[in-house]
């Protein structure tokens, strides 16, 4: 089957894919590293009974959820859009070759997103032990999804 090809003169499709992918990877590293940071900081705040650190963690969670989850999702879809636009045949080949790897990544990504939102909305609502478990689930699933 012949697919139509999209070309950008002077810029190139490969460079377009690279720009979108680099932005996505930088944002994704915020999500992964931020989840680990949140887990460690929240644990230290509870262990040391530090209300100031706990308030900082709560405020930082707002930024992290909005930036990493929302912008990361938009740029992730942007990668698929650009590779599908620039080279549909290569996109089809990638999907056929790596479908199970991406399925595993998406499972961990879904766990990361759910745990992150439960953690964010759990401030003042969840018992301390469950709240801490949520942030550690977020941290561990985020680091797992980046390895898939």
What pLDDT, in 10s, does the model give residues 75-106?
989 998 998 888 888 888 988 999 998 888 88
Q: What is the pLDDT of residue 148?
A: 45
**pTM for this structure?**
0.82
Q: What is the pLDDT of residue 109?
A: 87
Distance CA 48, CA 16 (A): 48
Q: What is the pLDDT of residue 3?
A: 63
Percent of the chain with pLDDT strictly greater than 90? 51
101-110 LR contacts (CB < 8 Å, sep 24+): 101/148, 102/148, 104/148, 105/145, 105/148, 108/141, 108/142, 108/144, 108/145, 108/148, 109/141, 109/145
* Distance from the Cα of residue 112 to its chain's centroid: 8
Average pLDDT of the residues of the chain: 88
Distance CA 37, CA 104 (A): 24
Q: What is the pLDDT of residue 1?
A: 54
- Among 52-56, 88-92, 144-148, the range scoring the smallest mean pLDDT is 144-148
Checking if the pLDDT of 73 tops 90, the result is no
Q: What is the pLDDT of residue 11?
A: 77
Q: What would the pLDDT profile of 103-114 be if each residue is shown by its tens digit?
A: 888 898 899 899
């Amino acid at each position: 089957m012949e697919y139509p090809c999209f070309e950008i003169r002077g810029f190139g499709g490969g460079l377009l894919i690279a720009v979108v992918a680099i932005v996505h990877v930088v944002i994704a590293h915020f999500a992964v590293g931020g989840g680990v940071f949140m887990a460690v900081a929240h644990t230290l705040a509870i262990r040391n009974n530090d209300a100031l650190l706990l308030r900082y963690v709560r405020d930082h969670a707002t930024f992290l959820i909005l930036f990493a989850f929302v912008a990361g999702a938009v740029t992730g879809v942007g990668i698929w859009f650009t590779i599908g636009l620039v080279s549909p045949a290569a996109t089809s080949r990638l999907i056929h070759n790596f479908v199970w790897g991406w399925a595993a990544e998406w499972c961990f990504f879904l766990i990361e997103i759910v745990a992150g939102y439960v953690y964010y909305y759990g401030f003042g609502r969840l018992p301390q032990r469950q709240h801490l478990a949520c942030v550690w689930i977020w941290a561990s699933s985020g680091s797992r999804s980046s390895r898939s």
